[in-house]
Amino acid sequence: MLVSGIEILSKANKEGYGVGAFNFVDFEMLNAIFVAANEKNSPIFVQASEGAIKYMGIEIAVALVQTMAKKYPHIPVALHLDHGTSFESCKKAVDAGFTSVMIDASHHPFDENLEETSKVVKMAHERGVSVEAELGRLMGIEDNISVDEKDAVLVNPAEAEKFVRESKVDYLAPAIGTSHGAFKFKGEPRLDFERLKKVKELTKIPLVLHGASAIPDYVRASFTQSGGDIGASKGVPFSFLQEAVKGGINKVNTDTDLRIAFIAEVRKVANEDKSQFDLRKFFTPAMKAMSHVIAERMDILGSSNKI
C-alpha cells in the first residue's frame, strides 16, 4: 500500500531498524525492489531522482509505483523524490502523487536551506506528504583530516537541532562522511558515528544515510568477471551500515549497488551468447541479481519481517 514516508519511518525509529530506500529508473528496477520486499516482508522506499523522472516521465513513474503497490497491497511503500533541487520540483512531485519528497538545499548557506525546507514542509504537509532535508556536504573524510576541516564539511549537531525544530522537517540526512557512487573512501572506510549519535540525541527524528551502497565483494567480482572495471571502488561495509542504524539512521539510500549488480548480469549474457538480442534474456537474470542484493540489505538493516 502506498503510504507517507513518515508512516514507515516513525515505526522504524521507534523500533530501531533501517528501511532501504532504493532508486529506480525503470520497470526492471522497481520490479526487483518489490520482489525482494515481498520475499522479505519488508517496508520500502522507492525513490526517483529528477534525472530518473525526466527519463521515465513523471506520470509513468507514479503510475508504475501505484500499480506495483496494488499488486503487493501488504507492502508499505513510500514513493520518494530523491534530491529535489527546488520548491517547484518538490511541488511537481507532490502534485503527481509522490508521498515523500527530499528538498536538497544543503549546498546553500544554513539560513537559505532552512527557509527553502520550511517552505516545502508547509506545502507538503498540507497534502499529507513527508519531507526530507540534508545538512552538510556528502563527501568522504580522509584519515588525516583536521577537526576544523571536518566541521566545515560534516553536519553540525547544534545546527541540526535548530534546523529540525524550526523547519518541522520529518527526517534529516546528516553528512557523516558518505558520498554517492562507487568510490567512497580513498583509505580505510570511516564515518563519524559520534556526530551521528549527537544529531540523533538532539533531534530524535528519523535520520537518513545517503551514499550507503556497500559494493559487496561478490557484486564487484561479478562486475569484474563480466569484463567491467571498477578497480578502486569502495563502499560502506555492512558492519558500518549496522552501526549507523544503531546510531539512529532509519532510511538507507542505495542505488549504486543495484546498478552494478544489474549491469554485471547484462554484460555476462552479452558475453556468453553473442547472438542474443531478446531483452528479456538480459533483464531476467539482471533483475534476479538485483533482487538478491536488495533482499540481503533488508536483512542487514533489520527491516525484514517488519510488515
**Among residues 36, 33, 35, which one has the least CA distance to residue 48?**
33
Stretch that binds ligand 13P, among 7-15, 120-128, 208-216, 264-272 (CB under 6 A): 208-216
State whether residue 28 is helix, strand or coil. helix
164-203 mask for Zn ion (x: CB under 5 A)? ----------------------------------------
64-83 mask for ligand 13P (x: CB under 6 A)? ------------------xx
Residue with cell 564539511: 153
19-58 mask for ligand G3H (x: CB under 6 A)? ----x-------------------------x-xx------
**Among residues 138, 133, 192, 139, which one has the least CA distance to residue 163?**
133
Site for Zn ion in 197-236 (CB under 5 A): 210
C-alpha span between 71 and 301 (Å, rounded): 25
Alpha-helix runs per DSSP H in 126-255: 147-153, 157-167, 193-203, 217-225, 238-246
Residue 192 binds: one of Zn ion, ligand 13P, ligand G3H, none (C-beta under 5 to 8 A by kind): none
Q: Measured between alpha carbons, how far is residue 46 from residues 77, 206, 265 in Å?
A: 7, 17, 22
Catalytic residue, candidates 82, 170, 192, 257: 82
Which amino acids are annotated as binding site for dihydroxyacetone phosphate, given as ranges? 181, 211-213, 253-256
Residues making contact with ligand 13P (CB under 6 A): 23, 82-83, 180-181, 210-213, 253-257
Hey, which residues are catalytic here? 82
